[in-house]
Amino acid sequence: MPKGATDVRPDTTLRVRAVGGSLSSVTVTPQKGKAVEGSLDGPQWTSSGFLSPTTTYELSATGRNDAGATQTATSTFTTLTPRLTATYRVLPDGETVGVGMPAMVVFDSPVTTPAQRAAVERQVSIVTTPQQEGAWGWSNNSQLLWRPQTFWKPGTKVSVNAPLTGLQTGDGKWVGRNAAATFTVGRARISTVDLKRHKMTVTEAGKVVKTYPISGGQSTYKYITRSGTKVITEKLAHLTMDAATLGVAKSDPGYYKLDVNYAMRVTNTGEFLHSAPWSVWAQGRSNVSHGCTNMGPADAREMFRESLVGDVVHFTGSNRPMRPGDGMDAWVYSWKNWRARSALTATQA
């Protein structure tokens, strides 16, 4: 690399080689931050990892020439300034969650190519205590999830490291910072909603702790509550449910706008568990909702109080299955099919 080089790609591998002598040390240091890691093998030093965008580095190499004299050479170079800076979050962070909540690396814009997604995946790591078998997989081009083969063991401590600075995620788009997260898994609370029997059964550590009468989605297909494994991803004490957010015109006979309490989101498509005092007459008897799981006010309040984000809710009894994109995708796939969602699997095939 010539002295004073500019627009150096952050994923460039640096190599420093002694000609007619030997190297004793090489340092590559940014204006701020840690020196670039690398290894010295005989006459050559090779960097590992990535550089930061929009950063000037000083390279210093010390060695001995054939005459035995020590010499030090220095130079500087500057990495390119991205047209776009890729940003992302590692979630959950600092929380206690239910046994169904995967670790997530969530980008604010797509990671464009399979090779770029594979590069991201090579950089991320996870430590679970106690150790559990699990796998990374992409639910879509902007979400990388790690799930255990089965649900988390209660009390698990999870640490996720995602040092992605210097990775390219699109045309002219590079990551400019690192992120990490830790979280704890709480008790094993798993509920089952039986849409045919209009009942929800709640278990903890495999033992039934509560049953609630419920009312699910009515028989019109677009309102049928989906069957499958869902996860509580959001808890809202108060929520205005507006069908317009789901593409329903206000002139449509099926349009609704309702204020609800104790809302617990279980899909991305608008399904919640929530209080529904207007349908108490149907709870335990028939399905009359627009797809949500209606509960009585006192029951919903209790469920809301006792639930964690990440708690699992199985739904049975409808002919409308969960599909990828409907909710927490990590549990939509079988274990075999989830492992196939890894970008590394795709690039190695």
pLDDT in tens, 111-162: 999 999 999 999 999 999 999 999 999 999 999 999 999 999 999 999 999 9
292 is catalytic: yes
Choose among 323, 296, 298: nearest CA to 198. Answer: 296
pLDDT at 285: 98
Choose among 140, 151, 102, 100: nearest CA to 307. Answer: 100
**Could you give the CA distance from residue 58 to residue 236 in angstroms, rounded to a whole number?**
51
In single-letter form, the type of residue at position 235 comes to K
pLDDT at 166: 97
**Distances 302 to 280, 296, 308 between C-alpha atoms, Å:** 16, 10, 12
pLDDT at 347: 57
274 is catalytic: yes
pLDDT at 349: 43
Q: Which helix (H) or strand (E) holds 62?
A: strand 56-65
**Could you give the CA distance from residue 166 to residue 236 in angstroms, rounded to a whole number?**
37
Alpha helix (H) ranges present in 258-334? Answer: 297-306
> What is the per-residue burial (b if ≥16 Cβ within 10 Å, else e) of 131-160?
ebebbbbbbebbbbbbbbeebbeeebebeb
Residue 177 tokens, joined: 């910072």
**Distances 265 to 48, 232, 342 between C-alpha atoms, Å:** 43, 5, 27
Q: Indicate the DSSP class of residue 344.
A: H
> What sign for the dihedral angle of Cα 102, 142, 106, 126?
positive
Catalytic pick among 198, 238, 290, 292: 292
pLDDT at 66: 80
Residue 234 tokens, joined: 């959001």
Residue 101: CB atoms within 10 A of its CB come to: 29
- Dihedrals phi, psi of 65, to nearest 5 degrees: -85, 180
**Distances 278 to 88, 197, 327 between C-alpha atoms, Å:** 41, 20, 27
pLDDT less than 50: residues of the chain: 349
